[in-house]
Structures are given as structure tokens and as C-alpha cells.
Amino acid sequence: MSIDVLIDGTAVSIDDAVFTTLLDNSVAGTYKAYGDALQSGSIKFKDLLYLADRGDIPYPLFFSPLPLVREQVRVKTEKLLAGVSRDTFSIGSRSKVDLRDVELIVKDLIRKQQLVRTHDTSLERNRIVGLLRNEGPSPDADAARLMSAIGLTHDAVRACRTKQKALDLLIDRLEANQVLVSRSVQNYMPQRLSHVRFSGMTIRDNKVPFIFLAGGDHHDDQEPVGRTIFTLTLMTVMVARRIFAPMTWDGGSIDTDPRREYDVAGAMLMPAERLREMGPVSLDDMKAASDEFKVTASAVTVRSMRVGMITGETASNYLEELRVEFNSQPRGGPRSPILPENAVRKYNGAEFTRRMLRALDSMSISPGEFCRAVCLNHLKPSGIEGLRRAVG
């Protein structure tokens, strides 16, 4: 079998196994031009070049022997998986993440890790990575140990006026400990995530591990910021447990046997002693507690069930009521466009951006290279000062 590549009206045949091997292992395998080529058995040369560019594939490989192509894909995948596992870390969710769905983002964040390691000699070995590799006597004990390590207290979280302030506090404490946090910003990342349903991922590094927060709609009907706080806390536990993988979790699940990491995250945000003092029983109680703990009412409901304060049946009924309430709320209109410097700051993370600005100021990196490698060419050198103001 073969695919005809049309070059100036002339057909040049390439092995269809080569064609599919290369594209099935890249983000370009999701593009319409790929499906059209498989269906018709032919593709225009300009379309092949387009797929090669989007998939980060040297186009001469399409004309290479299959054994060479397979070896190149193997090497590429091996390098890619040095920072993230192929297996999806799932809690209460059946969703899986194909590596190609997040491949370009993984590669970019790994490249950013290498970049900051090269230009910042002040980096030390990370104390959070592997902190909880050996389980403590209880999830509560692990939660206390991790919170102490990152310098976070229950009182500080509850003192935040809003959930957004609490999220900012958590990010600040992580980045102060060299755990970098990147957040999804469509059109400012190497690839779109519109067709991918996942919560985020953790990417390995002994000095600057990255946590990527996917954002978006997770189809579990919860308000976004409270959900993001729990997601980030759960991925912080993953870093401390040396688990580096894409993650999916269903925040509305009453899975009776979640991973230990879920209970550690729950103890960090909703300590059992304080939860029992509050004694939430009704759905209104769950909502009130969610405001204090800066999470969703769904998270409080599941946590209350996990510590034995309500039954599984009651929790399930409350979660269903919360879904109905959430879906009945009016959705906001079109969002105001985000400024490029704010978008770059959000995707890169403030700490990575600050460290690279220091490298720029010391002339360790040129303005042009900074715009290309740090900002993915979304900013020109004239926009660097705006980025500097955005990170404060």
C-alpha cells in the first residue's frame, strides 16, 4: 500500500506505513489533511509539508525506509517520555490522554526546563520532588509534611478573601520552592487543547519540575477556580510522590477507592479536624464550607463522605443536585481578549519568566532568543517591558 504525493502534477509514491507511523505519533495525526489523505490515497506536497511542520517532523523522513522511520519515532518518544509517563494518572475518571494530544506542550515545557537550568546557576536540587515517595503513617501526616515543606498553612488559605486569591497563594508557594506552574492559554501554546479532556500534567525535573494546569471544561460541572485549586493541590502531591504523568480526575465522583494522593490533597485543603468541627451535613452546609476551604461544594461533599460524616448515597444525591444547579446558571458572555504579555506570563508561569528576565538582563540570552524561546514569538523585543510589568 502507498500514498501518492502530488508534486507539480506528478505522483510520487511513499509507503503508507511510513506515512501513518510518522503522523500517528505526532499532533498532526489529528489534522483533517491527514484523514483526507488516508481516505483518498493521495496528498498534495504542500499539504504534506504543512503536516510535517505542524508535527515537527523533518519531511525527508516521509521518503525514508520504514525501519529508519520506526527508529526515529522510538528515539523521539523515548526523549519525550523522559519527562512524563505515557500512562494517564486517573482518579474517578475513565478519560485517557494520548501523548500526541499534549506532545508539543510537553516538549516546550521540557525545553523551558532545560533553558532555565542553562541560564540560572542559582537553582538548587528540588526539595519537594520525592518528598512523599515513602508513605507516612496517614494521609493527614503526609499532608502536614508537604504543607510545611512548601510553607503553606490552613489559616493562610482560609484567610484569602477569594478563591482566586487562594489559587494565587498556592502558586506563589510552589514557585518559591522551584515548582514551576504553567496554565493553559489557547493560541499562546504550541498546540490547542480543544479536543482533549484532561486536568493537567506533571513533568519531571530534579530542579524545576513543571505542573501544567489544563483549565477548560472538564464536564464534571463545578465552578472553575475551586476545581483548579484542588487540581493544583493534587498535582503537587503527585510531584512529592514522584509521579510525572498526564492527569484526569472527576471532581464529582464518589469513587469508593480513590488513590491515596486524593486523600492527601483533601487533607491539605480540608483538614478532617476542622471539617468535623464545622459538621457539614446539609447541602447548604457543604456550600458554606466550600467558601471557607476555597474549594468546590463537590469537593467538600466527597471529602465529608471520605471521613465518614455522610453516607455515599447522600453524597451522590448532593453531587447530582450540584450538577443541576451548575448547569442552570447563566453562562457569561464573550471574554475580553487577554493581553499578549499577560497570556505569555500565564502560560510560562511567573517564576520561570522572572528567572529568564534576569538571564536577559545579565546578557546570558539575547532579546531575540528570549522572544523566540521564552515567548514563542508572541512578543517582540519591544514587548518585553510589558512582560516585565506583568510579572511584577
- Is 334 among the domain residues? no
Do 236 and 282 belong together in one domain? yes
- Is 102 among the domain residues? yes
**Residue 42 pLDDT exceeds 90:** yes
Structural domain of 366 = 340-391
**Residue 220 pLDDT exceeds 60:** no
- Is 44 buried (19+), middle (13-18) or exposed (0-12) by CB count in 10 A? middle
Do 237 and 368 belong together in one domain? no
pLDDT tens sequence across 200-212: 999 999 999 999 9
- pTM comes to 0.84
pLDDT band per the 50, 70, 90 thresholds, residue 218: low
- At 78 the pLDDT is 78
Do 98 and 74 belong together in one domain? no
Q: Which residue has the cell 501523548?
A: 99
pLDDT band per the 50, 70, 90 thresholds, residue 236: very high
CA distance 81 to 390: 33
Do 17 and 157 belong together in one domain? no
Average pLDDT of the chain is 91
- At 219 the pLDDT is 56
**Residue 68 pLDDT exceeds 60:** yes
Measured over the CA atoms of residue 78, residue 80, residue 83 and residue 89, the dihedral's sign is: negative
Do 75 and 120 belong together in one domain? no
* 92-121 mean pLDDT: 87
Residue 18 and residue 66 in contact, taking contact as beta carbons nearer than 8 Å: yes
Pairing of strands 246-249, 210-213: unpaired
- Is 335 among the domain residues? no
* Max intra-chain CA distance, the chain: 77
What are the grid coordinates assigned to 361, written together?
538582563
**Residue 336 pLDDT exceeds 80:** no
Of 80, 111, 129, the one marking the end of a domain is: 80
Do 368 and 285 belong together in one domain? no
Which of 44-48, 90-94, 387-391 has the weakest average pLDDT? 90-94
Q: Which of 102, 107, 297 is closest to 198 using CA atoms?
A: 102
- Is 333 among the domain residues? no
Do 74 and 98 belong together in one domain? no
Do 260 and 240 belong together in one domain? yes
Q: Which residue has the cell 528576565?
A: 357
* 329-356 mean pLDDT: 87
Residue 258 and residue 92 in contact, taking contact as beta carbons nearer than 8 Å: yes
- Give how many domains the chain has, as a whole number: 3
- Is 332 among the domain residues? no
Do 69 and 188 belong together in one domain? no
Do 315 and 350 belong together in one domain? no
- 192-212 CB burial, b ≥16 within 10 A, e <16: ebeebbbbbbbbbbeebbbbb
Who's near 225: CB < 8 A, 6+ residues apart? 163, 164, 167
- Is 196 among the domain residues? yes
Where do runs of H (alpha helix) occur along 185-307?
Answer: 224-240, 260-269, 272-278, 283-293, 297-306
